[in-house]
């Protein structure tokens, strides 16, 4: 494999501090939104954010991901119906008492209108294997870790672009591959509604763990 010199520019300590604090402040403003406006979003903005996600590092550079962008109203309706069916089963039969108690503080239930209201849905699929030119299956490595990093890149990019998101994980999510006609080597990883918050959107007042609880210096 050929190599090239890295494109890297060293910056001053002051600039490093400035950039790190700026990004920290920006990312800390991000919140998961469940009440979306139906106002349209420029598709080029969404594409740029997906390209950012696709620049993430991955095991052996396999890039084991696929991003399905859904705007079609009929498909969004189909996804909502299927997701609500799974969520209803979850809330009424599958979820443990402890799990429901943890969710209760957020006031969520099996109804997911945001799957139709948000102008776009991004479905991230992980690719557990890939096919080579001869049609043989080739293993991908560190798939969950790689796709998780890409998902983080995507959420940060969408927030940076001035958009609201929600990380939605109906369980199971097998219906997404069927509706979106994805191949058998892909598994739905994350469903992300994207758009602007509705005029009266609210989010719960929550706190993050103190820095001292999540950080150690050895």
DSSP 204: -
Q: What is the pLDDT of residues 69-96, one digit of tens each?
A: 999 999 999 999 999 999 999 999 999 9
pLDDT value of position 100:
92
Tell me the whole-structure pTM to 2 decimals: 0.95
207 lies in some domain: no
86 lies in some domain: yes
Of the listed ranges 10-14, 125-129, 132-136, 194-198, the least confidently predicted one is 132-136
Number of structural domains (the chain) is 1
21 lies in some domain: no
Contact in structure between 177 and 68 (CB atoms under 8 Å): no
129 lies in some domain: yes
* Percent of the chain residues past pLDDT 90, beyond the cut: 94
Look up the domain containing 99 and give its range. 33-199
Contact in structure between 123 and 93 (CB atoms under 8 Å): no
Mean pLDDT of the chain: 96
- Averaged pLDDT for residues 18-31: 97
Q: Please state, in angstroms and rounded to a whole number, the distance separating the CA atoms of residues 131 and 137.
A: 5
6 lies in some domain: no
Predicted confidence band at 208 (pLDDT cuts at 50, 70, 90)?
Answer: very high
195 Cα distance to chain centroid: 13
Q: What is the CA angle 71-73-76, rounded to 5?
A: 80
Q: Please state, in angstroms and rounded to a whole number, the distance separating the CA atoms of residues 37 and 198.
A: 4
Predicted confidence band at 131 (pLDDT cuts at 50, 70, 90)?
Answer: confident
Tokens for 31, please give them.
């919140």
5 lies in some domain: no
216 lies in some domain: no
Whichever domain contains 83, its CATH number is 3.40.109.10
Find the length of the chain: 218
- Whether pLDDT at 15 is above 90: yes
Q: What is the pLDDT of residues 140-194, one digit of tens each?
A: 999 999 999 999 999 999 999 999 999 999 889 999 999 999 999 999 999 999 9
Q: What is the CA angle 163-18-149, rounded to 5?
A: 50
Q: Please state, in angstroms and rounded to a whole number, the distance separating the CA atoms of residues 216 and 67.
A: 35
Question: What Cα–Cα distance (Å) separates residue 86 from each residue in 25, 97, 148?
Answer: 36, 18, 23
- Whether pLDDT at 3 is above 90: yes
pLDDT value of position 132:
83
């Amino acid at each position: 494999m050929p190599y090239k010199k890295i494109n890297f520019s060293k910056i001053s300590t002051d600039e490093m501090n400035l950039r790190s604090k700026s990004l920290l402040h920006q990312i800390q403003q991000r919140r998961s939104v469940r009440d979306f406006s139906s106002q349209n979003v420029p598709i080029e903005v969404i594409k740029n954010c997906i390209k950012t996600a696709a620049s993430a590092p991955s095991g052996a550079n396999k890039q084991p991901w696929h991003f399905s962008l859904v705007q079609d109203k009929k498909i969004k309706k189909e996804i909502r119906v299927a997701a609500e069916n799974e969520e209803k089963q979850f809330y009424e039969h599958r979820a443990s008492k402890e799990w429901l108690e943890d969710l209760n503080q957020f006031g969520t239930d099996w109804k997911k209108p945001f799957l139709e209201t948000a102008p776009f849905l991004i479905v991230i699929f992980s690719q557990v294997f890939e096919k080579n030119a001869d049609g043989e299956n080739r293993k991908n490595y560190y798939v969950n870790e790689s796709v998780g990093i890409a998902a983080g890149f995507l959420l940060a990019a969408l927030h940076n672009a001035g958009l609201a998101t929600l990380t939605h994980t109906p369980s199971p999510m097998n219906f997404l591959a069927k509706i979106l006609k994805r191949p058998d080597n892909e598994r739905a990883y994350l469903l992300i509604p994207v758009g602007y918050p509705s005029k009266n959107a609210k989010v719960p007042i929550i706190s993050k763990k103190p820095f001292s609880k999540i950080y150690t210096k050895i």
